[in-house]
Amino acid sequence: MFPGADRFGPVEGTPPAAAALAGDRLLGYVYLNADVVNSTGYSGKPINILVGLALDGTIVGARLVEHHEPIVLIGIPEEKILQFINGYVGRKAFGETAPARAPDIVSGATVTVMVIGDTILRSAIRVARAKGLDGSAAAAAAPKPVRTIDESKSELQSWETLLGDGSVRRLHLTIGEVNAAFERSGNAEAAARPERGAPDDDFIDLYVALASVPTIGRSLLGDDGYERLKERLKPGQQAIILAANGVYSFKGSGYVRGGIFDRFEVIQGDNSIRFRDRSHRRLGDLAPDDAPLFREIGLFVAPEESGFDPTEPWRVQLLVQRAIGARDKAFITFDLGYLLPDKYVRTEQPAAVVAPAPAPPVAEPGAAPPAAAPGASAAELEEEPLWQRIWRSKTASIAVLVVALGILTAIFFFQDWLVRRPVLYERVRLAFLVFTLVWIGWVAQAQLSVVNILTFASALRTDFRWEYFLMAPLIFVLWFAVAAALLFWGRGAFCGWLCPFGALQELLNRGARLVGIPQLRVPWSVHQRLVAVKYIIFLVLFGISLSALALAEKAAEVEPFKTAITLHFVRSWPFVLYAVVLLAASLFIERFFCRYLCPLGAGLAIPARLRMFDWLRRYRECGNPCQRCANECPVQAIHPEGHINPNECIQCLHCQMLYHHDQKCPVMIQKRLKLEKRLAMTSSSMRTAPPARAGSRATEKAES
C-alpha cells in the first residue's frame, strides 16, 4: 500500500489519516477517501478506496476496499475498475501534474469511474493541504510580488505579431506524429489502428490565446466582440480562445451531446478546468486580416470559482482518443503550454509582509499528526454536483429516449387504430424492437436489471437520496417511465417493448420461424407451474439483499443482461455459454427467459397489480369456444377460458390485432360474412328488378 513503510500510526486528525512510517521517519499518510470527501456512488453507498499520499504530494498507492455499484456488478468486470484506480498511482495531488497518459475511462461504467477519479484527487488535495504537504507554510515565508493584467494596454496587433511574441501559442500535430505517439504508448491494439491519411497531413493545428487580456482580446475579437466579452465576464474571470484546423476536433463528443467538452482541459498547478456548453460561444472567424481561416473556433469562459490566474503559467491538455474495439478506446495526451508575455503584466510589491506559518513538524512514532495548514476550505473544493454534470453530458441521449417513450405512449393510447392495420402494426413493432435492442441496449447501455430494484429497496431502508439514482440519467428516465406505465398497462410496457434482452429473444425467434425452426408449445399445466420459478428467484434475491446486498447483486447474475447486452458477449466462457443457451431456447420457445426465469419481470409484476385500467378488449366467445388468441400469444399469457393474465402479459398487442382481424378472429369472420351476405342480397335484388320502360304510363292509360 505504501512502498518503504514498515508500520502505520493511529488513524487521527481532521481529516482522519494514518501516518506511514519507516522506523521513526514519516513517509506520508494513508487515508480512506470516504472519510475525507463524499464518495457515494450510484448504489447509494460509498465507494471506499484506501489512498497512500507521500510527503511530496504523490499518490503512491490506491486500493479498492469495498463497493456496491450495480452498474459494475451488472455490466463491467471489477478488474477494469481496479486498473482505472491503479492509473492514479504516481499522480500528484498538487503542483506538477500527472503522467502524460491519464487513466482510461471504463466504457459502460462512466458514473462509477467519474466518482472514483473525482474522490481520489479531491481527497488527496484536501489531505495534502490539511497536513501541510502543499508547501503552504513555505510559501507564506516569502511574500511574492502581486502580478495583475495591465488593463491600460489595448493596442491592436496583427496575427503574425501575436503569434510571434507568444500572445498566441500553437500546437501542430501531424497524422504521422500521432500514430508514432500511440506506438510509444505501448498499447498494441491502438498502434494497430493508425489514423488514415498521409503522415505529413494535419491531424490538428491548434492555437490558444488569453482573450480577456485587452490587447489580445481586441485584436482577435474586434472592438465590439471584446466589449461584449467584458460585459459577460465577472471581476477576475478569464476567457480563452481555441482555434484549430485538421481532421481532429478539440470540441469532441461532449460538445455534440451538449455537455462537457471532453477532449481538452486547462491545467494550472493543482487546478484542472473543464468547460461546459454554457461557458462556450462559437466564433465564425477571427478579426485580424492576416489570421487564417479555421475549421472551428471557440471562446471559453473559465468558471468563476476555478481560481484561474492569467499571470501564472498554464497549459491546455489535448486528449486524443482512438477506438480499439466496439466499446473501448485508448487515450494519449499532448500539452500546449502558455505563459502570458510580461508586457501585458503589471507587477507590484506587497505593502506588508505576513508572518510565515510554522513548517509542519516531523511526526514522531505515536505522536499526533501536525496541525492543519492553511488551505482551501471545503466550500472552495465543492463543485457542481456530479449528477448534474452527467445529465448535461447526456442531453442528446435523454432527448432520444424521451422521444421514443413518447412514441410508445402514442402506440398504447391509439392501439385500436394501429392494430386494425396488421401490416403497419407488424412493421412498427419490429422497428421498435430493433431500436430497443440496438440503441437502448447496445449503444446507450440502458438495460434495466433486478439489481436496480434491490438497490432502491436497500436505499429506502437506509439513507435514501435521489442524487444516488440521478447519476445514471437514462436508467432513471426509464425507471420513471416504467413506474408510470405500471399504473396504466402493467409490466408489459417494459417487458414487451423496452427490455433489450427481451427484444433480442423475440427477434431471434422471428428469424427462427422464418427459416422453419419448429416451435414448441409448453402444455398449459406445465406452463402454469414454470411461471412461478421467476417469482421464487426474485423472492430469494430480495431476501438475500435484506442482509447481504453485495451477495444478492452477485446472485443476480441469473440475468444474462450483463453478458448479452452490456458486454456484447465479450466475457469469460461460462457466462457466454449461459447466455447463449437461454437465447438458443428462445429459438424454440419464444421469450423462454422472460416466461420462466426473469426476476426483473417478477419484480415488476407485483406492483403492476395496482394498475388502474384494462385496455385489452375481449369477446364473450374468447376461450369458449375460440382459442385463437390463446394459441398465438407469444408468452402464453391467455388462459384457456379466455381471460388475460396481467402478471404474464407483455402488452405486445398481438391479441388486439386478432381481435379486429376479419380473416382470423371467428367473431370478426362471422360479422364479415353477414355483411358480405347482406351486400350480396342487396346487389342481387337490384339486378332482378324489371327496368322501367319509357311510355309505360301512356300505354296503361290507353288500355284503361
186 plus 43 within the same structural domain = no
At 68 the pLDDT is 66
CB neighbour class for 238 (10 Å; exposed up to 12, middle 13-18, buried from 19) = buried
pLDDT of residue 375: 34
Please give the pLDDT value at position 436: 95
Confidence of residue 248 (pLDDT cuts 50, 70, 90): very high
Q: Is residue 289 part of a domain?
A: yes
Read off the pLDDT of each residue in 642-651 and give the average, rounded to a whole number. Answer: 89
pLDDT classification of 381: cutoffs 50, 70, 90: very low
Starting at the edge strand that comes first in sequence, how are the strands of the sheet with 48-54 ordered? Answer: 7-12, 17-22, 25-32, 48-54, 59-66
Contact between 48 and 65 under an 8 Å Cβ cutoff? The reply is yes
Straight-line distance from the first to the last Cα atom of the chain, in angstroms, rounded to the nearest whole number = 128
Please report the pLDDT score of residue 14 as a whole number.
81
pTM of the model: 0.57
Q: 422 falls in which pLDDT band (50, 70, 90)?
A: very high
Number of domains in the chain: 3
Say how far apart CA 284 and CA 296 lie, in whole Å: 8
Is 347 inside a domain boundary? no
Rounded to 5°, the CA angle 375-377-380 comes to 110
- Residues 175-218 have pLDDT tens digits of 999 999 888 887 888 888 888 889 899 999 999 999 999 999 99
Amino acid sitting at position 41? G
pLDDT of residue 604: 92
Residue 239: band (very low, low, confident or very high) from pLDDT cuts 50, 70, 90: very high
**Domain identity same for 539 and 408:** yes
Domain boundary residue among 107, 136, 165? 136
The answer to whether the beta carbons of residues 296 and 243 sit under 8 Å apart is yes
- pLDDT for 142 beyond 70: no
Is residue 121 helix, strand or coil?
Answer: helix
Same domain for 435 and 530, yes or no, is yes
Single-letter residue type at 136? S
Categorize the per-residue pLDDT at 538 as very low, low, confident or very high, splitting at 50, 70 and 90: very high
Residue that is last in its domain, among 321, 340, 359: 340
User: What secondary structure does DSSP assign to 596-612, as a single string?
Assistant: HT-HHHHHHHTGGGG--
Q: What is the mean pLDDT of residues 385-408?
A: 86
Instruction: Indicate whether 545 pLDDT > 90.
Output: no
Query: Which has more confidence, 472 or 685?
Result: 472
Enumerate residues 6+ apart whose C-beta is below 8 A from 504.
437, 441, 564, 565, 583
Cis link prior to 625 (omega < 30° from 0)?
yes
Contacts of 300 (CB under 8 A, 6+ apart): 239, 240, 241, 242, 261, 275, 279, 280
Asked whether residue 478 falls in the same domain as residue 579, the answer is yes
H runs (alpha helix) in 261-305:
none
Q: What domain range includes position 330?
A: 150-340
For residue 22, give the H/E element and its range.
strand 17-22
Tell me the average pLDDT of the chain: 81
- Bridge-based pairing of strands 59-66 and 146-149 is unpaired
Residue 669: pLDDT over 70: yes
pLDDT at residue 624 in the model:
85
List, edge to edge, every strand of the sheet that includes 202-210.
168-174, 202-210, 239-245, 296-301, 280-283
**59 and 174 together in one domain:** no
- The more confidently predicted of residues 94 and 346 is 346
Averaged over 549-554, what is the pLDDT?
A: 79
Q: Has residue 600 got a pLDDT over 50?
A: yes
Are residue 322 and residue 398 in the same domain, yes or no? no
Q: What is the pLDDT of residue 400?
A: 95
Residues 130 and 255 both lie in one domain: no
Beta strands in 201-295 (DSSP E): 202-210, 239-245, 264-268, 271-273, 280-283
Same domain for 127 and 172, yes or no, is no
pLDDT recorded at residue 91: 82
Average pLDDT over residues 494-500: 94
Looking at residue 242, its pLDDT comes to 95
Q: Which residues contact 588 (CB under 8 A, 6 or more apart)?
A: 512, 517, 518, 519, 520
Q: What tens digit of pLDDT does each residue of 274-313 get? A: 888 788 888 989 999 999 999 999 999 998 777 888 888 8
